[in-house]
Structure formats: structure tokens, C-alpha cells
Amino acid sequence: MCGIVGYIGSNRAYDILIQGLKRLEYRGYDSAGVALVDCDGKLKIHKSQGKVSNLESIASGANVEGHLGIAHTRWATHGEPNDINAHPHMSQSGMIALVHNGTIENYAVLKKVLMEHGYEFKSETDTEVLVQLIEYIKLTSSCTLLEAVREALLQVDGAYAIAVVEQNEPDTLIVARKSSPLVIGVGEDETFIASDATPMVGYTDQVIYLKDNEIGVIRRGEPVQVLSLFNNEPSTINIQKLKLSLAQLEKGGYDTFMLKEIFEQPSTLRDCLRGRIVDNCRRVTLSGVDLNQERFKSAERITLVACGTSWHAALIGKRLIQDFCKMPVEVEYASEFRYGNPVLNEKDIVISISQSGETADTLAAIELAKAKGAFVYGICNVVGASIPRTTDSGTYIHVGPEIGVASTKAFTGQVTVLTLLALSVGQLRG
């Protein structure tokens, strides 16, 4: 999973960006880079294959001043991992820089058209196609950067979270998302952006989770503006309080985050169970089920959709729900679900499971299930993520941030919630 960090404010952007990249290292990556707009409006890019420490070595001694910047850790998709394919990518004129998570599915068609108009490409990435397209639109239409970004995204198929800066514009940062997470952190006279909230901890606890097909406009000294991609109208901004602490993001004396999270399981499972077993252990209560009792009573089938580790938790959940609820249960890999043309109706319940709440294939499965009339229930760890916002109801596992790549406490938390769900629905159905 690639990582994005961005900053605009009064502090030196480079230091905040590097720290943010280090907090996103748990995602895995093969290259890293930063783009900075200095106080004179000059755009400078530093990037390198390998670790963030390699990037620091390359940037050592260079001019890294400036109060606006974007940064990225890349996991190679289009093109091999090397310095050229690393993000940020720059437009042909050197005026616009962009970082991008996701995949532009129609990049080859767009690239061919741009080449016919004289554009040359240095990298093998789909991301460079997007930044060149933005510049082409801006120059040929004589429009603003915001207008060019919006028009370019209307021509793009695929998933993206992007951040864009422009030379001679040290006071403006443009961001957008579709099927890839992006968070805006609102501080005092400064604003942060990132793929998840971990780079913002210690700076601000006020965050905006950008929704699909929204563009964020961040200008120095002005409130954050969020616009709809389709009609360019202002969107409702919901600022949420971030419930993360620096202690949760540190190793706490353990050699690795994975080891820490293995030993955290007793306490995290207590948090997961707290308040959900009542009446002297005679009854299980889940608010997501209690508020939708008729749906669960009348359901004819449950389908569990998930990917990776969450899919393995779903396999255990299937056995539990069938046993306690006496109803048919299916488990589908989310990435295959939508291609199987599933037969669903209003009597079906689809349960989506994801630690991050941002798993793209699971989000796509949710959209399909809702379109077919099914009731969709989410099991997630990250409060305020896309899946909790998209589903009809659900339950958080409350195990805290998972930094270790191999899932431990999130898996046991998911199995615990599935057990509680099976017991709760089993009670309802007698």
C-alpha cells in the first residue's frame, strides 16, 4: 500500500513530511520522495529507490526549505522500483508535481493521446500520465490548477488518492480521492494530509475524511474547502476528533510492532468485549444488531465478503453463524464477488470485514450489494473509515492501530466480533 503525506503551514514542511513517511513505513514500499515549494515559489523534488533513510541521504545538503510539500512511499505497480518511477512525478514543464495512490486503468489511452500532442514520458507509471494530463488541460484551457485537476479526474477511470502542488503557488494544495483513502488534518494555522491519520498524531486531533469523488482545496490562511467532483458544488464538511495517541504508535519496549501487537491481544480483546456481554453474562448486545432486529430476524441468507486475513476470519464466522443462527451463510473473496454477478435481494444480509475500512475490493462489493437491495453490515477497526460510513450498520472491533503487516490482534478482534454477532443474532432468531 502506497503512502501519501502533505503539509501546508508555517513550519518547515520537509521535517513533517519525513516524519510522516516514517510513520507510514509499516505499509511496505520500495521508494520514497518529496516535492517542496520553497518560499520563492520554486518547486523542488527529491526521490530515491529504497528506504526513507535513502531519501534523507539524497536530500542532505540540498535546499529543503519551504512551508508547502507533498511526499510519498511507493509500492511498485506500473514500472519497476527505481528512482525514475518513484513519486512525486512532475509535469513536462516542471511546473506541477503530483503524488498518487491507486491505479489509473485507462492510462495507456490517455498516454497515447498526450504523446500525439508532443508530451514525452520519463517513467513507466500511470501517475506521470495523470500529472501530464493536468498540465495539458491547464495550458490548453487557460484554467486554474483546481479546474484542470477536476477536468482531468473526470477523464480518468480507476482508483486514486492524489495531492497536487504547483510552482509559484506556495499557498495552495489540491487533493482528491476515489476508492483510495485520504485524510485531511486541520491544525492551528496549518493543514496536513495523509493516507491515514497516523502522520497527524501529535499535531492535530481534528480530521476530515474525504469521501469518494471529492476534491479538497487547501489554501494558506483559509478554511479547508471540499467540492464535489461532478458538480463542483461545496460538500458538507464533517470534522471528527481523532482518537489516536503517540503511545499507540510506538513500540513500547518491544523489538517490533508485530511482537507488541501479539502481546496486546489480551487487553485489546477486553476492549472489544467491553459493554457487549450483559445481564450477568446471559446476553450479548451489539447496537448494530439491536437497531436492526427485524432485518436479522427476517434474513434468509448471510454473505460474508472480505480479503486476506479478514477472509480467514470470515471462514470462522461462517461456522459460528450457521451453528448459532441456523441459517445459510456464504463466504466470498471480495475481489471476486462483483465479477460473479451475485444473486441478492432485500432478504439478504452482506457482512463486510476489513481492518482498515478502506479495502478497495471490499468497498466495491459493498456498492454492488447495496445496489441489489441487500442490507450491508460492516465489521471494521478504524473509526470513521470508508466502510463504516458506507454500510447500513456495523460493529467496530476496537483493537487500536495495527502497524505490524502480519495481522494479529485485528484477526482475533474480528473473530471475537463475529462470535458476538453469531450469538446476538442467534438470540434474536431463537
C-alpha–C-alpha distance, residues 162 and 19, integer Å:
19
CA quadruple 195, 200, 205, 207: dihedral sign: negative
As a whole-number percent, the residues of the chain with pLDDT over 90 amount to 83
Cell numbers describing residue 364: 466495491
Residues 411 and 309: beta-carbon distance below 8 Å:
yes
Residue 48 backbone dihedrals phi, psi, to 5 degrees: -160, 145
Q: Evaluate the CA torsion angle 132, 134, 137, 143 in order and state its sign.
A: negative
More confident position, 424 or 249: 424
DSSP string over 363-410: HHHHHHHHHTT-EEEEEESSTT-HHHHHSSEEEE-------SSS-SHH
The whole-angstrom separation of Cα 175 and Cα 161 is 7
Band the pLDDT of 1: cuts 50, 70, 90.
Answer: low
Are residues 167 and 96 in contact, defined by beta-carbon separation less than 8 angstroms? yes
CA 151 to chain centre: 23
Joined together, the cell numbers standing for residue 396 give 467496530
pLDDT in tens, 364-383: 999 999 999 999 999 999 88
Could you tell me the pLDDT band of residue 354, with boundaries at 50, 70 and 90? very high
pLDDT at residue 392 tops 80: yes
Per-residue pLDDT of 6-16, as tens digits, reads 999 999 999 99
Query: How many whole angstroms separate alpha carbon 332 and alpha carbon 319?
Result: 14
CATH assignment of 3-248?
A: 3.60.20.10
End-to-end CA distance of the chain: 43
Give yes or no for residue 403 having a pLDDT over 90: no
Residue 109 confidence (pLDDT)? 97
> Residue 285 — pLDDT band, cuts 50, 70, 90?
very high
Which residue(s) pair with 234 in the sheet?
A: 227
C-alpha cell at 47: 526521490
Q: Considering only 25-29, 59-63, 230-234, which range has the smallest mean pLDDT?
A: 25-29
Query: Could you tell me the pLDDT band of residue 409, with boundaries at 50, 70 and 90?
Result: very high
Give pLDDT tens digits for 171-193.
999 999 998 899 999 999 999 99
| Domain ranges within the chain, ordered by starting residue | 3-248, 251-428
What are the grid coordinates assigned to 397, written together? 472491533
Residues 6+ apart with CB under 8 A from 341: none
Which of the four pLDDT bands, split at 50, 70 and 90, describes residue 160?
very high
Q: What is the mean pLDDT of residues 289-302?
A: 96
Distance CA 314, CA 330 (A): 9
In this prediction, residue 67 carries a pLDDT of 96
Q: Is the pLDDT of residue 77 over 90?
A: no
pLDDT at 133 over 70: yes
367-374: long-range contacts, CB 8 A cutoff, minimum separation 24: 368/337, 368/338, 368/342, 369/303, 369/305, 369/342, 369/344, 372/342, 372/344, 372/345, 372/348, 373/344, 373/345, 373/346, 373/348, 374/303, 374/344, 374/345, 374/346, 374/348, 374/349, 374/350
Task: Give domain 251-428's CATH architecture.
Answer: 3-Layer(aba) Sandwich (3.40)
**3-state percent helix, strand, coil for the chain, nearest multiple of 5:** 35, 25, 40
The rounded distance, in Å, linking the Cα atoms of 382 and 397 is 8
More confident residue, 179 or 290: 290
pLDDT at 91 exceeding the cut of 90: yes
Helix (H) or strand (E) holding 160: strand 158-166
**What distance in Å separates the CA atoms of residue 35 and residue 131, rounded to the nearest whole number?**
13
Sign of CA dihedral 151, 154, 156, 161: positive
Given pLDDT bands bounded at 50, 70 and 90, which one contains residue 146? very high
139 burial via Cβ count (<10 Å: 0-12, 13-18, 19+): middle
Torsion of the alpha carbons at 350, 388, 209 and 26, rounded to the nearest 10: -90
Burial grade of 41 (CB within 10 A; 0-12, 13-18, 19 or more): middle
* Burial of 366 per CB tally in 10 Å (0-12, 13-18, 19+): buried
CA 136 remoteness from chain centre: 28
> For 235-282, how does the pLDDT look when each residue is reduced to its tens digit (9 = 90+)?
999 999 988 777 788 888 899 989 999 999 999 999 999 999 999 999
> Phi then psi for 149, rounded to 5 degrees?
-60, -45
In sequence order, the 6+-apart residues with CB closer than 8 A to the CB of 363 are 179, 386, 387, 390
Mean pLDDT of the chain: 94
CA distance 399 to 383: 11
Stated pTM of the model: 0.85
